[in-house]
Amino acid sequence: MREAELYSIWANQMLNHDLHTTTGQAIRVIYPGNLNSDRGADFKDATLKIGDVEYHGDVEIHIKKRDWLSHKHQNDPEYNKVILHLIWENDKSRVMTHSHKTIPTLLLSEFYLPDKEIPQKIAYDCHFFSGLDKNQLNYVLLKCGQKRLSEKADIIRQISYLEPYEETIFKVIAGALGSPNNKLGMKLLASEVKKRELKMLSSHDLPIYVEQVSKNVGLSEDNRHSSIWQQFRIRPASKPEKRVKEYIQLRWLFRHENFAILLWDIFNSSDTVKDFIGNVDKLLNSTYEESLFGYELIKIIAYNSLLPFIYSLVSDLKHKKNLAKINQFIKDFPKIGNNRVINSFMNKISDYQKLNLENREIYYQGLYYLMNNYCRRHDCQLCRQERDLYLTIREK
């Protein structure tokens, strides 16, 4: 039995549901959690009733119980939220978290139903999506996506009250470059890089400046394991060292110009969202012989940083023509790509709904909104209430 097969067994609940821990406590699975491809436990945001107590947290899966110790999870605070340890082979190892909490263990081999084939696709049952036709699904996700973008714009607006627009834009760009695992580190970087310092640097001075700033934010050769930076399961193209260098190069590129004004000019000169993305690409990549950012990353920066900034600005100005234009850009923006949040939700909706889901980023941002506001808090009832509210508004 491979560990990946155990993931599928747990996710699809291919078990005799008279479950109990190795010490005899009854287990009821309310929600098995979301498969996690990042650092930390294998399943996030699970809800289980163990004995008479309901728990919300993470689930970790291993072939052997002692794998917990060999993987050194007992020394890693990321595993403090684990509420159940799933294993295939038992032994006498004692499993504890970094916070010295003993974790209940479930021996999957005792409850697995071998007569059922292990599905390759993990599927969950979500009451939010059940019963929605394609038009209802897209309408609700559109509203949720718009709400998520409006929340981003509100945060940007609050930051821009305290500092120049240009600094605000670069802070949100830093967050986009660090998403999802190194946002905190990149935000620290944004506060460390000063435009007045960059103005004095030549291209020959820039590598030394990058090295010094990297050291200041805990990313030097001597401090690669700083807790603020995540290196685990990060693709080479997204390594924090690379992102730090790219960000500083970007700031240096516009050291003598006002980036906020350049961005506003691009928005005004773009007739479609395709034009806007292309113009952003030219702006950020035109000075270097090789592109600083790939096209997918340009889309991420444009959608998650630049459009929310422009939206906040246009909303404050209350210019109807520009407000209609930015709303159309947001609605037409092409889908950026898959990640663990989207993959998780794709397994919660029917094949019919998948085929009819609008292939635009705003609808997938609606999935993000649901995950952040409800799934991670296990507020299923409130989630359904918001869904029904949108459906009622649509019917009217």
Instruction: Select the highest-mean-pLDDT range: 9-18, 169-178, 290-299.
Output: 169-178
Q: Is the pLDDT of residue 223 over 60?
A: no
Bridge partner residues of 59 (DSSP): 43, 84
This prediction's pTM:
0.80
Q: At which residue do the structure tokens 């990042």 appear?
A: 38
Looking at residue 15, the DSSP 8-state letter turns out to be B
Q: How far is CA 277 from CA 14, 135, 166, 318, in A?
A: 45, 28, 19, 24
**What is the distance between the alpha carbons of residues 183 and 173, in angstroms, rounded to a whole number?**
10
Q: At which residue do the structure tokens 């709303």 appear?
A: 327
Structure confidence at residue 179 as a pLDDT band (50, 70, 90): confident
pLDDT, mean of residues 310-321: 91
Query: Which has more pLDDT, 370 or 36?
Result: 370
Exposure on the CB side of residue 17, measured as CA atoms within 13 A: 9
**What is the distance between the alpha carbons of residues 348 and 126, in angstroms, rounded to a whole number?**
6
Percent of the chain residues past pLDDT 90, beyond the cut: 60
pLDDT, mean of residues 195-202: 94
Mean pLDDT of the chain: 89
**What is the distance between the alpha carbons of residues 201 and 207, in angstroms, rounded to a whole number?**
10
Distance from the first to the final alpha carbon of the chain: 54
Q: How far is CA 195 from CA 166, 198, 258, 285, 334, in A?
A: 10, 5, 11, 19, 33
pLDDT, mean of residues 31-37: 82
Q: Do residues 293 and 301 make contact, with C-beta atoms less than 8 angstroms apart? A: yes
378, two tokens: 């296990």
Q: Which amino acid is at 56?
A: H
Q: Which of 323, 297, 336, 312 is nearest to 156 (CA)?
A: 312
Q: At which residue do the structure tokens 């000063």 appear?
A: 194
Q: Is the pLDDT of residue 207 over 80?
A: yes
